[in-house]
Structure 1
Amino acid sequence: MRTRLAPSSTAPWRISSIRTQRCLCSAPISHAQEASALNPNSTAEQPELSRNPMPDSLVFPEKSSAEIGEPRCEFTAPVSRKWGLGQTEMIATLLSRRNEPDSALRYFRWAEKQPGFASIVDPFCIMLWILIGSQGHHRIARYMLNHYVTSGSDPSARILVDRLVNCSRRFQFELDSRVFNYLLNSYARSGRLIDAIDCFNRLIESDIDPLIPNVNFLLSALARENMIPEVLGLAGILDSRGSECNAFTIHIIMTAYLKDGKVDEAEQYFKKAKASGLELDAAAYTTAIQAACRKPNSVMACELLNEMRKMGWIPSEGTITSVIGACVKQQNMESAIKLKDEMISSGTPMNLVVATSLMKGFYLNGDLDSALNLFDKIVHGGLVPNKITYSVIIEGCCRAGKMEKASEFYTQMKLAGIHPSVYDVNSVIRGLLRAHLWEEASKQFDEAVESGIANAFTYNDMIYRLCKEGKVDEASNVWHKMVNQGVVPSIVSYNNLILGHCRKGSMDLASSLLSEMQESGLKANVVTHSILIDGYFKKGEIERALGMYDQMIGRGISPSDYTYTTIINGLCKLGHSSEARDMMKTFVEKGFVPTCMSYNCIIDGFLKEGTVNSALGVYRDMCECGISPNVFTYTILIDGLCKSNNIVLALKMLNEMRKKGLDLDIVAYGTLINAFCKRRDMGNARKVFNELLEVGLSPNSAVYNNMINGFKNLGNMEEALALYKRMVNEGIPFGLETYTTLIDGLLKEGKIVFASELYTEMLAKGIMPDDIMHTALAHGLCNNGQLENARKVLEEMDKRSIAANVLVYNALIAGYFNEGNLQEAFRLHDEMLDRGLTPDDKTYDILVSRKFKRNGYRQGASSI
């Protein structure tokens, strides 16, 4: 296709911009020179254009004449022109043969072989225009361009384009875009991609649109060389000009966006092309699916997959595999399984990548059994699990706490000749630590250290878990081992050990670690400071906690919401709820957005301090700020109001909670039941208990213990024992507290045999009595006249190294006084003093009042 170029407004060409020294006929030809050039017989003196040494001339292969069917011809140069042909003469001769392309080509080939011939640009450009003007000589023009570009003797691409345009205009050749497309293609094919880009840009600047096949070839060549920014740069130019592209262009540019990590741009480019009505192909759709999978957007990926099928295209196995992977990442297991089934039904067997993805999806959804079944299925089907497959199934078992199965796969993996990665080792160690299998975890850890595979994450996992369990000394040993092995502690390592020391209350050690960390070049982050602030609050050191906060601000570290919440909670726990409320207002001014939990901390603090009105004031502030109270908020309020004997207001809060559509949880129900039980209002306690059952909640041991204790305090052991039997039938775990309440109640009712049976049952379960149980036994037995058995209780306490208390001695002393054994009563009093126990008012009340009572009785009896 030929297009006429409008007159150029480009600035005059500058010789200085040429990369190689050669004459480009940049200056216009004078009238005399032009006349001489156009008349070969003219005797006018030819101007000398250049005396610079010329580069090697363009030389065609020896067979080129035969190949293009050129007749041989000889031209004779004037003997007097020793310096060689002049550019003006060449131009004039070529122009005189512009309608005879074969003759012009023979002359050009003869001229290039002459001594001193230079590969000057303008004659070459004119030769190209002559050839392109003849339909039968296009192939020769392409060959000349290819040879010219690969020889490396040409000027810059921009200058060559400009000279072609200039020659077309000056010598009235019709501008044919094929020359420029051949040139662009030659640069791309020869691997001169920077020159190809320059050529493309200059063509665009000259308002010449390259043909899209040539553009695609250039884009592909750039993509192969991973010149992604250049691909996207050309794409931007095409888009801004509204150039017509085809499906292959879309595919190349989308692929470039994906390589550059610009998934959204790739997706939008596809949508725009689709909306424009461009006929896309399977490759473009496949690339769009890959973009959707990268996000991941499994819904879009599935939709595009269905569109491909409707158009009759069969998606590749790799494409379907990618979509299944995207579905798994978004936990869209239903679609993933459906695609897998379709894949198999179409005759494509499930591959290892799909199977591995599905296994991961299953265990992430909490369905480890399906993952294990699929593993067995692929093994029996002939697939050989690889390193990734084993890693996935091991991680799944570790997360589910199935450490025996995880160890089995770990061993199987090693037997298959696959060396576990540090990721696998860390998964197993984390799983063992979560399962509290310390010995096995330590063994795996030591093996990892000895083999040199352990990394910072391995050590961090051990340090964190040990610190969490309060085993700070063991964590410190792991720390020293890490340093000795040459593994540099990270900020996470320091934070974990600092957390351990803070939980143990060793704030000086935690502070020294902070200094050590900073000396090593690591900067403490917001997590570090928040841990220390929390540690100081738990230690009760408010000033040091707030001082650490000020240090953090001074170091330019922005507090997190966790930091603010830690300060608010710490102040409230230490009885400074008013200060916490004031600080929260300051934090809000700095950008902190209080949560429901923040308000809950302050409400709970005020209630524990006994300032109910302040707590209700914070509750109202919370509602006015648009923060909806949650179940925990109401539970705190109901509990606090009940404890302050504001049961009416507590019930009002309960009704308000229900009006807002909030359902009570087991904690809220338990709080109400406990409040009614303490008030000995077992009627309302029973109503709340029944409501709890009606809404489908299961009472826990705390609720049952409150109810049992409430009925015991009323002397209604029948109801208490009925609840106990219900606990047993429903499998609700119970322990010493339940047994203590029941045995105490039974002894008070004189049911010694039943109490003894429960006590025997308790011991059979391995539940050992504490001082409270022993006290209840001593009182109960003494009140029932079982002094010898009561005395044995004191002996059992000595055997179990449980210190006897004043209450036990008071019961025994009162018992012996009632029996009239004053000597034993006073002996027990002396024994109590020998043990270092201080008698209380009850003790002296028994000793004094009952002694006088006993003496008065005896005096009265003797007088009678």
Structure 2
Amino acid sequence: MARAIARGFLRPTQDVAEILLGILKPGPYLCRDLAGYASTVTPEVAGRVLQQVEDPDVAWTFFQWAGNKPGFQHNAYTCAVLLNAFVKAKRHEEAHRLLKEELEPLCFPNEIMYTTVINGFCKAGQVDQAFELLDEMKERGVKMDVLLHSTLIQGLCRKGRIDEALEQFKSMGEECSPNVITYNTVVNGLCKANRIDEALELFDDMEKRYEASHGCEPDVISYSTVIDALCKAQRVDKAYEYFKRMRAVGCAPNVVTYSSLIDGLCKVDRPSECLELLLHMKEKGFGINIIDFNAMLHALWKNDEQEKACQFFERLLKSGKKPNVVTYNVAVHGLCKAGRVDEAYRILLEMVESKVTPDVITYSSIIDGFCKAGRMDKADDVFTRMMVHECIPHPVTFMTLLHGFSEHKKSREAFRVHEDMVNAGFIPGLQTYNVLMDCVCGADSVESALEIYHKMKRKKRQPDCNTYAPLIQCLCRARRVDEAKEFLDVMEADNVVPNGAICHALVEVLCKQGEVDEACSVLDNVVEVGCQPLGETFKILVEELYLRKKWEAASKLLRSPGFVADAATYSLCVAEICKAGKPDEAVEVIEQMVLKGVRPDEGTYVAVLRSLCGLDRVESAIAEFEKMASRGCAPGLVTYTLLIGEACSADMADEAFRIFEAMVAAGFTPQAQTMRTLSSCLRDAGYQDLLVRQRIMTMAIS
């Protein structure tokens, strides 16, 4: 074969290089095997061989062998491709040593050789060493070219040193003009650093320079880079502008461009436009990849377009494209979220038939769907299937089942899932124990709840408010109040602030047991440590205080800054105070009520007005009547009738008539008895003119 080559039977570059590549294998006899081809090796042949040798040690052996042949002289080309063999193998530091110690005597290093080694350092993230090599290059008088600038800029961008990359870019004008690769590198670096507006400025500058005939034209990578960045930043309308500009100048979008736009539109819930783009892609002859299908399907489900999503999924199945596990998971999750869990389960079975292995997301979604539907037996079946198929559940899967069993008060099953979780190697955390606590407390299993609490302590899991709340509530329901109060003390010692539910449970049970003073003490203590009691708690306690005639304690509670109640509670308080003949205190309660933004109703005021009038304080009652409207409560028929009657009884004819006028102006029709009472009062007081006016107004009303 070697003699045939020497006689010229084969082309002495491509074919010789291929033969030599077949010989070049690591081993001690490599040079012996090459011996017969010495006369055929030229620098061009050597360069072709070195370009394709994967093992840099074999490349170096071949390089030395060729250099030792009489008449052969290595040049910049063969040296550069040797260096590249080491750089490709991520042995850039050895390449640097070769450049300095072995290659320099053979061939003075040029910009290509330096760029090759500098590229190796940049790709390895050793940008500072790359710049040291650049300084060495400059000292030798080798000039930088656009490729070297681009290499350094890319290295800086990869390290996130964008400002330095921009400085390097700006310095290019002194030696050479940037090309489209340089621009694309900087634009991409700015986009990845989330400096998108700067990237757009640079892109626009690139366009303007090209239009002015002294620059480079943006290519499909340039446009795709900014479109992708804008879409990821959810600036989809701006991305569309660049997409239109791209097509207007005749730059054809590629599959990356379309995919970026589709993904961006899907994330901002614009599936209709996504569909248009997919159709446009198909018209242009692009194959739609499964990632685009998945994004589109996800957008339809997210936008609650259930039927369109199902149709799109069916279309995908019929198109011959094979859905991957992500596709199935999107469909399963969407169906479960829509409450169509049986359809989701059928898809799980289809996956198995189609040889697509369901993953933890598939199973977890369906388990969650059945749990939310209250079908715990089915959820448990899917969980068992998952374990049988050796799909290891995620902690979220276990927690979903735990929550489901807890909500349905199935404590035995919840404990079994907890054991499965431990056996699978997961260490239960605070949330797991809290769910178990909820479950057993919901079933009023006090002993189990206490067992969980003590187990948490043994396992060094510090209980929080969500642990104590169901436990204390459970103890209160079991009338084990002393233990409940002990846990309240433990909470205080551990700096755990009780919530409104804990406070309510204790106050309620103490009130039921007649320990209203102790209930007040508990309320004061929890408020002091930062708890905001529920409005219902205040209602129960204040009602109990009034029923037990503890006026002072009730009054103190009503005036406390944290007191929260609804209008009904306040009305009850006012009614009880009025029954005790203390209308002034009742008025104070109304004032507190208004200050806290609760509107008194007419019934509340009527109780106060009756109480004042019962004490012959009609003038005070009329004064409170005047304040009603300003406090957001318009007087009604009952109020007007009451005050007209009381004013007449107190011989306050003029006040009675004034209230009558207000009543008529408000659109109320006085009862016959009210009219007779007022007429009699006016007649007895000698107010003939008012009596006439009353008759005229009565006729008008009739």
Class of the TM-score when normalised by the shorter of the 2 chains: 0.5 to 0.7
Residues 248-647 of structure 1 mapped to structure 2, 5 A cutoff: 251-256=80-85, 262-263=89-90, 266-267=91-92, 269-270=94-95, 273=98, 281=109, 283-294=112-123, 297-298=124-125, 300-312=126-138, 313-344=142-173, 346-382=174-210, 383-437=216-270, 440-441=273-274, 444=277, 453=286, 454-483=288-317, 487-557=321-391, 576=411, 577-588=414-425, 594=427, 598-609=428-439, 610=441, 613=450, 616-617=453-454, 619-620=456-457, 623=460, 636=466, 646-647=487-488
Change (3 A) 1:719 1:187: closer
Corresponding position of 1:133? none
Corresponding position of 1:650? 491
Residues 696-775 of structure 1 mapped to structure 2, 5 A cutoff: 715=558, 750=590
| Separation of aligned partners in 1, 2:367 and 2:248 | 49
| Separation of aligned partners in 2, 1:505 and 1:674 | 31
Indicate which of 151, 155, 160 corresponds to 2:7: 151
| Deviations 1:112-155 (CA, angstroms, capped at 9, x unpaired) | xxxxxxxxxxxxxxxxxxxxxxxxxxxxxxxxxx976432799x
Mapped contact 2:59–2:85 kept (Cα < 8 A)? no
Change (3 A) 1:148 1:419: closer
| Separation of aligned partners in 2, 1:275 and 1:623 | 62
Mapped contact 1:720–1:742 kept (Cα < 8 A)? no
- Give, as a single letter, the amino acid of the residue that structure 2 aligns with 1:270: A
Indicate which of 43, 47, 70 corresponds to 1:220: 47
| Deviations 1:520-539 (CA, angstroms, capped at 9, x unpaired) | 34343444334333433444
| Separation of aligned partners in 2, 1:450 and 1:207 | 55
Q: Which moved more, 1:709-718 or 1:213-222?
A: 709-718
Residues 644-683 of structure 1 mapped to structure 2, 5 A cutoff: 646-654=487-495
The two structures, once aligned, show a CA RMSD in angstroms of 5.6
Q: Alpha-carbon deviation of 1:478? A: 2.0
Change (3 A) 1:209 1:567: farther
| Deviations 1:234-281 (CA, angstroms, capped at 9, x unpaired) | 5579999xx9x999877534523666xx44xx3464377589898694
Q: Alpha-carbon deviation of 1:222? A: 1.5
| Separation of aligned partners in 2, 1:673 and 1:275 | 77
- Give, as a single letter, the amino acid of the residue that structure 1 aligns with 2:245: Q
Q: Alpha-carbon deviation of 1:493? A: 1.8
Mapped contact 1:188–1:221 kept (Cα < 8 A)? no
- Give, as a single letter, the amino acid of the residue that structure 1 aligns with 2:20: L
SS at match of 2:47: helix
| Deviations 1:371-426 (CA, angstroms, capped at 9, x unpaired) | 33333333334353322222222222222222332222222222222333343333
Mapped contact 1:463–1:496 kept (Cα < 8 A)? yes
| Separation of aligned partners in 2, 1:708 and 1:363 | 53
| Separation of aligned partners in 1, 2:200 and 2:334 | 37
| Separation of aligned partners in 2, 1:148 and 1:438 | 66
Mapped contact 2:190–2:198 kept (Cα < 8 A)? yes
| Separation of aligned partners in 2, 1:509 and 1:355 | 51
Corresponding position of 1:772? none
Q: Alpha-carbon deviation of 1:353? A: 3.1
Mapped contact 1:673–1:685 kept (Cα < 8 A)? no
SS at match of 2:269: coil
| Separation of aligned partners in 1, 2:454 and 2:180 | 62
Change (3 A) 1:817 1:468: same
Change (3 A) 1:271 1:489: same
Corresponding position of 1:726? none
Mapped contact 2:115–2:147 kept (Cα < 8 A)? no
| Separation of aligned partners in 2, 1:562 and 1:420 | 41
Q: Alpha-carbon deviation of 1:605? A: 0.8
- Give, as a single letter, the amino acid of the residue that structure 2 aligns with 1:367: R
| Separation of aligned partners in 1, 2:268 and 2:570 | 40
| Separation of aligned partners in 2, 1:432 and 1:207 | 60
| Separation of aligned partners in 2, 1:239 and 1:602 | 68
| Deviations 1:483-515 (CA, angstroms, capped at 9, x unpaired) | 455544333222211111222332221121122
Q: Alpha-carbon deviation of 1:587? A: 0.4
Change (3 A) 1:204 1:507: same
Change (3 A) 1:583 1:288: farther
Corresponding position of 2:583? none
Q: Alpha-carbon deviation of 1:586? A: 0.8
Mapped contact 2:79–2:103 kept (Cα < 8 A)? no
- Give, as a single letter, the amino acid of the residue that structure 1 aligns with 2:332: I
Q: How many residues align?
A: 527
Change (3 A) 1:402 1:452: same
| Separation of aligned partners in 1, 2:50 and 2:28 | 18
- Give, as a single letter, the amino acid of the residue that structure 2 aligns with 1:604: N
Residues 793-832 of structure 1 mapped to structure 2, 5 A cutoff: none
Q: Which moved more, 1:443-452 or 1:355-364?
A: 443-452
Q: Alpha-carbon deviation of 1:602? A: 0.9
Corresponding position of 1:7? none
Corresponding position of 1:783? 604
| Separation of aligned partners in 1, 2:451 and 2:164 | 54
Q: Which moved more, 1:504-513 or 1:365-374?
A: 365-374
| Separation of aligned partners in 1, 2:502 and 2:367 | 35
Q: Which moved more, 1:376-385 or 1:496-505?
A: 376-385
| Deviations 1:62-102 (CA, angstroms, capped at 9, x unpaired) | xxxxxxxxxxxxxxxxxxxxxxxxxxxxxxxxxxxxxxxxx
Mapped contact 2:398–2:418 kept (Cα < 8 A)? no
Corresponding position of 1:99? none
| Separation of aligned partners in 1, 2:158 and 2:489 | 52
SS at match of 2:250: coil
Instruction: Kindly name which structure, 1 or 2, has the bigger radius of gyration based on alpha carbons.
Output: 1
| Separation of aligned partners in 2, 1:708 and 1:381 | 70
| Separation of aligned partners in 2, 1:393 and 1:551 | 46
| Deviations 1:196-254 (CA, angstroms, capped at 9, x unpaired) | 6499975645999999x979876523245x3546x6645579999xx9x9998775345
Change (3 A) 1:321 1:425: same
Relative to the length of structure 1, the TM-score reads: 0.49
| Separation of aligned partners in 1, 2:9 and 2:189 | 61
